[in-house]
């Protein structure tokens, strides 16, 4: 079972939902999730905000942050994940932003990528990646990494819930 299938199974088991915000991956995360039979049980939908202005307009990313740092930034990724989670009414939100190439963007070299998860507590996690390879390799690896980050957060959240439930016994 691949990571997409594992996270969707865990989300379904817990009765939780997922929304995706994508930039450099251009819909590849959503495509990988929807390849899994039964994905609609937990996957709410996605926003591909490739143009920088859409990150503000559709996902609520702070325009001043985008103007100051550009779209390739960890805080931008975090705000994208939180924004898509809120806009699509999901328990979990994940996001990708970065430079797949062939040219640098916003002063960032090719392979600079940020992936983020926003969870039910409102807290999130961001991973800064430095990926090698050509455009398609960077995009595919970004998909893998954001799903791994979500998987780690889901399993960590499950351990926290188990501890809380077992704490009084």
pLDDT of residue 37 exceeding 60: yes
pLDDT confidence band for 121 (50 / 70 / 90)? confident
- The stretch 126-146 carries a mean pLDDT of 98
137-155 pLDDT per residue, tens: 999 999 999 999 999 999 9
Rg over CA atoms, the chain: 16
pLDDT of residue 164 exceeding 50: no
Dihedral pair phi/psi, residue 18, rounded to 5°: -135, 140
- The stretch 56-84 carries a mean pLDDT of 97
For residue 157, what pLDDT is reported?
Answer: 67
Encode burial over 28-37: b for 16+ CB neighbours within 10 A, e otherwise: bbbebbbebe
Residue 75: give the domain boundaries: 3-166
CATH of the domain at 146: 3.90.950.20
First to last CA, the chain: 34
Q: Against a cut of 0.85, is the pTM above it? A: yes
For residue 169, what pLDDT is reported?
Answer: 36
For residue 158, what pLDDT is reported?
Answer: 58
Query: What percentage of the chain reaches a pLDDT higher than 70?
Result: 92
pLDDT of residue 112 exceeding 90: yes
How many distinct structural domains can be found in the chain? Answer: 1
Contact status, residue 100 vs residue 110, Cβ threshold 8 Å: yes
């Amino acid at each position: 079972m691949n990571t997409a299938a594992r996270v969707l199974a865990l989300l379904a088991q817990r009765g939780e939902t997922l929304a995706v915000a994508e930039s450099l991956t251009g819909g590849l995360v959503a495509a990988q999730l929807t390849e899994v039979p039964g994905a609609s049980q937990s996957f709410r939908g996605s926003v591909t905000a490739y143009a920088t202005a859409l990150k503000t307009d559709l996902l609520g990313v702070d325009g001043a942050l985008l103007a100051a740092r550009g779209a390739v930034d960890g805080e931008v990724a975090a705000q994208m994940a939180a924004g898509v989670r809120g806009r699509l009414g999901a328990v979990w939100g994940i996001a990708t932003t970065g430079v797949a190439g062939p040219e640098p963007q916003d002063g960032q070299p090719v392979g600079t990528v940020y992936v983020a998860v926003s969870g039910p507590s409102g807290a999130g996690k961001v991973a800064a990646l430095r990926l090698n390879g050509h455009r398609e390799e960077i995009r595919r690896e970004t998909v893998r990494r954001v799903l791994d980050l979500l998987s780690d957060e889901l399993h960590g959240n499950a351990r926290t819930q188990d501890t809380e439930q077992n704490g009084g016994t």
